[in-house]
Amino acid sequence: MVTTTERDGSTWFACEVCGMLFDDREDARRHEESCDGEDPSYLQ
Ligand SMILES: [Zn+2]
pLDDT of the chain, 44 residues: tens digit per residue: 999 999 889 999 999 999 999 999 999 999 999 998 766 565 55
CA 33 remoteness from chain centre: 10
CA-based nearest residue to 32, from 40, 19, 43: 19
Cβ count within 10 A of residue 39: 10
Which residues lie near ion ligand 1 (Cβ < 5 Å)? 15, 17-18, 20, 35
Distance CA 19, CA 21 (A): 6
Coil vs helix vs strand at 12: strand
Gap from CA of 9 to ligand 1 centroid (Å): 23
pTM value?
0.73
Predicted pLDDT of residue 42:
53
The predicted pLDDT at position 19 comes to 93
